[in-house]
């Protein structure tokens, strides 16, 4: 089991927001992508952040967007669509969305609209 599975989403979230903001994007866009991927409302997302939910529990409670399978590409040298562990793949989906936001991709493309 990977260490990231037991890491709280709240401990990584500031890094996601900072990555986007450093490139001129907003925390709100990161939240929008997280809500799109997980099916959580903004209030539910905030509750998970406040409670220190682990990635394992976070994605167990999520209703993954059916278009998540359209998220492809490389994150940290690993092809997202080739990740075998289902939980790790969901985490990589989230990483890829944040990367795309930080790279300036339009939100309708990030959200696979």
Provide the pLDDT for residue 57.
Answer: 98
Quote the tokens at residue 106: 């339009």
Q: What average pLDDT does the segment 22-51 reach?
A: 98
CA quadruple 45, 61, 40, 99: dihedral positive or negative?
positive
Contacts of the segment 99-106: beta carbons below 8 A, 24+ positions apart: 99/19, 99/73, 99/75, 101/20, 101/23, 101/25, 101/29, 101/30, 101/33, 102/19, 102/20, 102/22, 102/23, 102/25, 103/23, 104/23, 104/24, 104/25
Provide the pLDDT for residue 69.
Answer: 94
Provide the pLDDT for residue 91.
Answer: 97
User: How far is it, in rounded angstroms, from Cα 62 to Cα 38?
Assistant: 5
SS3 assignment, position 55 = helix
Q: Residue 90: which region, alpha, beta or left (left: phi > 0; alpha: psi -120 to 50)?
A: alpha
- The answer to whether residue 1 scores a pLDDT higher than 70 is no
Longest Cα–Cα distance in the chain: 35
**pLDDT averaged over the chain?**
96
């Amino acid at each position: 089991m990977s260490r990231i599975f037991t890491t709280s989403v709240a401990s990584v979230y500031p890094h996601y927001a900072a990555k986007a903001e450093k490139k001129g994007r907003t925390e709100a866009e990161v939240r929008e992508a997280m809500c799109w991927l997980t099916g959580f409302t903004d209030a539910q997302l905030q509750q998970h952040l406040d409670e220190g939910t682990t990635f394992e529990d976070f994605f167990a409670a999520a209703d993954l967007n059916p278009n998540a399978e359209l998220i492809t590409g490389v994150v940290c040298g690993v092809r997202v669509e080739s990740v075998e562990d289902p939980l790790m793949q969901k985490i990589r989906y989230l990483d890829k969305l944040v990367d795309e936001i930080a790279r300036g991709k339009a939100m309708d493309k990030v959200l696979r609209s």
